[in-house]
Homo-oligomer: A and B are copies of this chain.
Amino acid sequence: MEGSHENAEDENQIVTPWEVAAKEGGRIDYDKLIVKFGCQKLDQSIVQRVEKLTGKPAHVFLRRGVFFAHREFDKILDAFEKGENFYLYTGRGPSSEALHLGHLVPFMFTKYLQDAFKVPLVIQLTDDEKCMWKNLTIEESQRLARENAKDIIACGFDISRTFIFSDFDYVGGAFYKNMVRIAKCVTLNQVRAIFGFTGEDHIGKVSFPPVQAAPSFPSSFPHLFGDKNNLRCLIPCAIDQDPYFRMTRDVAPRIGCQKPSLIESLFFPALQGETGKMSASDSTTAIYVTDSAKDIKNKVNKYAFSGGGDTIENHRKFGANLEVDISVKYLSFFLEDDAELENIKQEYGAGRMLTGEVKKLLIEVLTNMVERHRKARAAVTDEMVDVFMSARPLPDMFG
């Protein structure tokens, strides 16, 4: 099988689709994760190739290494170069009403990919997964899926190239057939090794990996791709989802399908520091798209971990530790101007700029961003959601 099929748990960190944590205040070691998972580092030559092929500057997340690892992304680029099409697949488990900034990262990046390559996109809302893992009712999971769809649409996806679906609504027909084809190729021992299921887990959990794997194959979407069953699939996601797609890639050739390619991101860090992902259940660890300007200001000032000196004197003398400073991390995700970011890093790192000044800049950037999102979301009508979520053909999706 491809890569390691163990849980990526060792003495220093645990990374699974349900838990991401560095132990005892350490940070996630992404290089170790690449080795452990068996994926490839996304290097600068690939970034340059993307710019050349799309004729557009690479997204901030690409040129700054937020998307830092991949599996055969180069094959997607090879195919695209030869004039072949591909499609994008990403998703979300709708477990909470409000999204935080970490949730937006893969969608912001996927929107860039859709625009740059002009390709169709399927977005899976795994309401069945959340119903099973979080013990939500089906009705609540579906309500959250629809609410989350509004936030996703607000990221600016092209309605003529995008199909968003809830598992509870869409599983069936060709999609179910692919679930069965996939399930036949994976043993109980294998899913126990990959996902860490135990005998006390319910069988819904064991049944779920094929549901997340199925959208990797174009034949799951006959209304979109018809008989284009050899179309390649590119999956932008955070690296904790890698186990699902390692499994999927192992299965693909056995059911006569192309292996999906992956492009994988770092986790967006919590305000308190880079020990894992933000937590949807602890509202002080994250900035939400529903936070007010005042919330944002308070949270950044109060919780954003500072790498600055413990006294002004020490700060002026030794400068800030940029490696652990959350304001600098957040700015490197969301401040688009490379020169401005570089300048902040230099001035702050040298102690000439104070934490308070950096936080002030960050608050401005986040407030603008959240305000833009809020406006975009308010413009998303129920009718638009209905269209995005209807299993319709997308006639010009490769146009």
Contact = CB atoms under 8 A, between A and B. Distances in A.
Interface of A: 128, 131-132, 135, 138, 168-173, 176-177, 180-181, 183-189, 191-192, 197-204, 206-207, 209-210
Contacts of A210: 203-204, 207
Contact of A189 (B185, B200, B204): B200
A43 to B, nearest CB: 36
The count of identical subunits is 2
A9 B201 CA distance: 25
Nearest to A141: B180
Contacts of A169: 173
Contacts of A180: 128, 131-132, 138, 168, 204
A200 B188 contact: yes
Residue from A131, A181, A184, A192 with most neighbouring chain B CB atoms (10 Å): A184
B138 A184 contact: no
Contacts of A191: 203
30 contacts: A128-B180, A131-B180, A131-B184, A132-B183, A132-B184, A135-B184, A138-B177, A138-B180, A168-B176, A168-B177, A169-B173, A171-B176, A172-B173, A180-B204, A183-B202, A183-B204, A184-B202, A184-B204, A185-B202, A186-B202, A186-B203, A187-B200, A187-B203, A188-B188, A188-B197, A188-B199, A188-B202, A189-B200, A203-B207, A207-B210
